[in-house]
Structure 1
Amino acid sequence: MDAIECIRSRMSIRKFKPELVPIALLKAVVDTAKWSPSYKNTQPWEVAIVSGKKKEELSKILIGLVENGTKPSPDIPEPQSWPPVIEARIDALMKKRSELMGVDLYSLDALRKAKIMNFQFYGAPHGMFLFQDSSLPTWSIFDMGLFSQSVMLAAHAHGLGTVPQAFVTDYARHVKQFFGIPETKRLILGISVGYPDLESPVNKFRTDRVETDEIVRFVE
């Protein structure tokens, strides 16, 4: 597929097939993504990928933290509020997903279940975690966004599915301990990776986008 089709057809996958992705293919995805632009070619990204029994072990650790009521402590604080126009988009998405799943996604029980599904990597055989040095300025997080997009597009081009996950950063210290990564690094994002189960109803749902005229202005 060409670049335009890849960007427009990529979607977040929340149900995966259990088959493992060859390590060589996962490496090829990262090898492509590393060509993302970054400020002054700083290339601030560091990647850890977990699979198999180790992935299940990490899942149990994270789910246990939820079950025990451990307070989340992400390296990047979660936003507490949004501008009204952004809040409206979030509400519209949550309403559609609530209708699809038949649950109120704003309820505490639904939030707990959503976290558990995240920590199970939505059934994906691989979990990817993105880190950067904590001494880097906020600007470097922008570079991580570029890298994350490249990972997901490269995976999609290879027939893989992905979903970016913020919830897995809730317990950043525990994730870093699991991988043997020092506290001088910060956990930016998790991405589940695997072969998508395109027959699953949850993967039939597509988000919409605002009209282009709402986000662009031309001055001549």
Structure 2
Amino acid sequence: MPDVDVLEQLLQQRYSCRAFRPEPVDEATLTRLFTLAQRTASWCNAQSWQVHLTSGAATAALGEALTASLARGEGGSDLPWPQRYTGRHAERRRATGYALYSAVGIERSDHEARAAQMNLNFSFFGAPHVAVITCDRDLGVYGAVDAGGYVSTLLLAAQSLGVAAIAQAAIAGCSGAVRTHLALPEDRVVVCAVSLGHADETHPANSFRTDRAPLSEVVTVVPGA
């Protein structure tokens, strides 16, 4: 019988790391990590995801390219952004932001400091490795669904191997710069990035945790006839 307690422990302990130590993850662990993630389920086993993995200087160069693109006022996402956050979605998003700002000592009214914290996305919070996840354009929304499943598996696999990680949609907002820098073909859609490394456990950005909605908010049990 599978040890369900192990999965529960991984799900309970995983969090989005927003401050990394500079030392790299060893190659054997990275290979095992991406081998595990490759077991992700997908529509018709299409496996639409592709990964461009950077390390060290390549990670720094990608961050510099994204930062320069933002400074030029460039942007744009291959996938449509949410039109708006309303109701409970807005509340959850707001609560997460406030928890982060509180942890790192940023006042809600300090928009400059909040912007600076946001821009840390583009230096990958100091992570030594970045996995840029793309999917096949022709597969449309289901390709993106596959890639999302892959990201979820990658995050859990990382947790199981003692690797800190954070999925970053912000990078998709610079899809053009990502495509140019990595020489991605036009048939690839930039979904997100996952930064990987060893957590700086002393950094206050890693001190808070998000909660999850109760089942009563998300599961509707349909009665039988």
State if a TM-score over 0.5 links the two structures: yes
Q: Which one of 190, 197, 214 corresponds to residue 187 of structure 1?
A: 190
Could you say which residue in structure 2 is the equivalent of 1:61? 65
Segments of 5+ residues of structure 1 without an aligned counterpart are none
> Within the alignment, does 1:127 sit opposite 2:130 as a pair?
yes
Segments of 5+ residues of structure 2 without an aligned counterpart are none
**Aligned-partner Cα distance in 1 for 2:111–2:204:** 24
Contact 1:163–1:193, Cα closer than 8 Å, also in 2: yes
Identity within the alignment, %: 27
Return the offset for 1:43: 0.7
User: Residue 199 of structure 2 aligns to a residue in which SS?
Assistant: coil
**Aligned-partner Cα distance in 2 for 1:65–1:13:** 24
Return the offset for 1:161: 0.4
**Aligned-partner Cα distance in 2 for 1:8–1:109:** 33
Q: Which letter does structure 2 place at the counterpart of 1:45?
A: W
Return the offset for 1:12: 0.4
Q: Which has the larger displacement, 112-121 or 186-195?
A: 112-121
Could you say which residue in structure 1 is the equivalent of 2:139? 136
Residues 106 and 170 of structure 1, relative CA distance in 2, 3 Å threshold: farther
> Superposition RMSD on alpha carbons, in Å?
1.8
> Within the alignment, does 1:210 sit opposite 2:204 as a pair?
no
Per-residue Cα deviation, 1:13-36 (whole angstroms, up to 9, x for no partner): 011111111222112111111111
Summarize the alignment of residues 1-220 of structure 1 with structure 2, pairs less than 5 Å apart. Answer: 2-68=6-72, 70-104=73-107, 109-110=112-113, 112-218=115-221, 219-220=223-224
**Aligned-partner Cα distance in 2 for 1:97–1:31:** 32
Q: Which has the larger displacement, 208-217 or 98-107?
A: 98-107
Q: Which letter does structure 2 place at the counterpart of 1:62?
A: L
**Aligned-partner Cα distance in 2 for 1:115–1:51:** 22
Q: Which has the larger displacement, 96-105 or 146-155?
A: 96-105
Q: Which letter does structure 2 place at the counterpart of 1:18?
A: P
Residues 78 and 111 of structure 1, relative CA distance in 2, 3 Å threshold: farther
**Aligned-partner Cα distance in 1 for 2:168–2:101:** 18
Return the offset for 1:150: 0.5
Residues 121 and 67 of structure 1, relative CA distance in 2, 3 Å threshold: same
Q: Which letter does structure 2 place at the counterpart of 1:205?
A: F
Per-residue Cα deviation, 1:102-132 (whole angstroms, up to 9, x for no partner): 3356865345423421111101100110011
Contact 1:130–1:188, Cα closer than 8 Å, also in 2: yes
Residues 84 and 145 of structure 1, relative CA distance in 2, 3 Å threshold: same
Contact 1:118–1:168, Cα closer than 8 Å, also in 2: yes
Contact 2:69–2:177, Cα closer than 8 Å, also in 1: no
Aligned length: 219
TM-score by length of 1: 0.92
